[in-house]
Structures are given as C-alpha cells and as structure tokens.
Amino acid sequence: MENLLQQLDENLKELYRKALDADALLEQLQQQGQAKYQTVFSKDAGFRVESNRFMPYLAETAEQVAAIRHNQQFNTSTLQRVVQQLQLLHKTLTEFRAAVKA
C-alpha cells in the first residue's frame, strides 16, 4: 500500500509544476483574448470540479489520494478513478504544451 501511495504522490508532484506553468500560460492567453473556453475537461471526463484552469482538477485528485492515505484503505473504483484522472492530466498537459510550442 505504501508503494502505491508513494507512486501516486510522485505523479502529483510531477503534475503540480506542469499545472502551475500551464495555468500561468492560460492566464496570459486569456488576457490576450485567446483561450475562450469554460472548462479544461468535459463533464464526462471523471472530475467533479469544473474549471478553466488545471490546478482545481489536480487538487481534486490530490484530495482523493489524501483520503486513501487517511483511511489506509481503498476500493478499486476509487483507485481506478484516481489513476484515470492522473493519466488524463498527464496527457492533456503534454498535449497543451505541444500545442503552445507549435
């Protein structure tokens, strides 16, 4: 269990910096009249939060990891949801960075 939590924490740490950078860039783009959208992820993406920035989504995922740690147990559906969220955040942040550089 501890190895699993450690891996989840490492993913969260890696995503934290990327999300901060992406949100700062989104802020700049929005001030320039670009980035005109309501949410980063659609409602069916598996997140409860809706935001036009990445950090609220990352915070939601981190809260779920903290709940797993606090309870010292997890059910398969919670773990599956957390892993899917982490994968989606990694994928979307990578695609966003590539699109901005292009």
pTM score, whole prediction: 0.91
Q: What is the pLDDT along the chain (102 residues), one digit of tens a residue?
A: 889 999 999 999 999 999 999 999 999 988 888 877 789 999 999 999 999 999 999 999 999 999 888 887 767 888 899 999 999 999 999 999 999 887
Q: Could you report the per-residue pLDDT of 66-89, keeping only the tens digit for each?
A: 988 888 776 788 889 999 999 999
Two structure tokens written together for 44: 């069916």
Q: What's the Cα-to-Cα distance from 14 to each of 11, 24, 89, 90, rounded to whole Å?
A: 5, 16, 11, 9
CA distance 64 to 62: 5
